[in-house]
Amino acid sequence: MATQETTRLTDWDRYFLNIARETARRSNCVRRQHGAVIVRQRRICSTGYNGPPSGHAHCDEGACPRANSDTPSGWAYDTCIAIHAEANAILYSSPTEREGATIYITGVPCFGCAKLIANSGITEVVATGDPYDEWGTVRDFLIDCNVRVRLIK
């Protein structure tokens, strides 16, 4: 009988960030795909990825004005129809599940998502990816709100 050799991933951060990356693959955003996983006591409570509200046409079907514009990816933010991965993960979890939880994100959160995280009961953000210009301000805001922040390269 043939056996398959496996290597167990023992680093919890890498494990949950990998799940967030896989979750991001569900996104139909044509500009960016992000995923988020809310974890409490090493148990997954909720996942989320960026995309339009349920029932709305998808970004990859031409429904997003931002996706259809010729502006650089960081511009025209207000015309984007997507709900961010962090917001979706928060929406699909209960307050009890979020209390003292960690959110794993495939990119650093924007200020809007940072406000949601700070008020959700989540006590730690673990993100990967390159920080954007305003990241320092967002990180300091989360820390001021007693949310631990770790950026993993």
Cα of first residue to Cα of last residue in the chain, in angstroms, is 40
**Rounded distance between C-alpha atoms, residue 92 and residue 77, angstroms:** 24
86, 97, 99, 124: which one is catalytic?
Answer: 86
For residue 84 the two structure tokens come to 């961010």
Residues with Cβ < 8 Å from 70, sequence gap 6 or more?
Answer: none
∠ CA(120), CA(148), CA(106), 5° rounding? 75
* Residue 86 is among the residues annotated as catalytic for this protein: yes
Q: Annotated catalytic sites, by residue?
A: 86
